Homo-oligomer: A and B are copies of this chain.
Amino acid sequence: MSDTVIQELIDRYIELSFSVHRRGEALVKCQIGSDLTNDQHYTLRYISKAGSCTSTELAEEFDVQKSAITAIINRLWEKGLIKRTRDENDRRVVYLTLTDKGNELFYQAEERIYRLVETFITKFDQSEIKQFIETYEKLNQVLKESKELWWGNRA
């Protein structure tokens, strides 16, 4: 592969890693606005899809420390969007689920995002989107593996 293509991939990926989080933020806040941050929305999203999960699971999934999860869950809990339930068999474990309010807010946001994407999706054709998603997933996977490799050499 030519050097310029590698360099361009790097440029784009770094650009991506800088800007896309902010674009996501705009996406979540789009139109009527939800008062949710990108990270909060993504957390609701994960819990909604899982039905119920633990802090440890979220920390592993998001690749952050458990204390970061505690913080974000606290903020969602203060907004009344999340419920904490202790496991009766193993009393160390806390299950996280969405409250009715949490569910409602999440689905509202999802619907808004869907409507928005519909407005511009016509500019792409299906195969282009599919290809993009595939390459992204591959790239993400490769980066994840690489990361484990480097960090295995340290610490």
Contact = CB atoms under 8 A, between A and B. Distances in A.
Contact of A135 (B114, B124, B144): B124
A17 B17 CA distance: 8
A22 B121 contact: no
A81 to B, nearest CB: 17
A27 B118 CA distance: 33
A5 interface: yes
A144 to B, nearest CB: 7
B116 A146 contact: yes
Given A27-B17, A120-B146, A128 B135 contact: yes
Could you say how many copies of this chain the assembly holds? 2
Contacts of A42: 14-15, 18
A152 to B, nearest CB: 12
Interface in A78-125: 110, 113-114, 116-125
Interface residues of A, number: 68
Nearest to A109: B14
B150 A31 contact: yes
A33 to B, nearest CB: 8
25 contacts: A1-B121, A2-B126, A5-B129, A9-B132, A10-B114, A12-B132, A13-B27, A14-B41, A15-B42, A16-B136, A18-B39, A18-B42, A19-B62, A20-B21, A21-B21, A22-B62, A23-B140, A23-B144, A26-B143, A30-B147, A119-B146, A120-B146, A124-B138, A128-B131, A131-B135
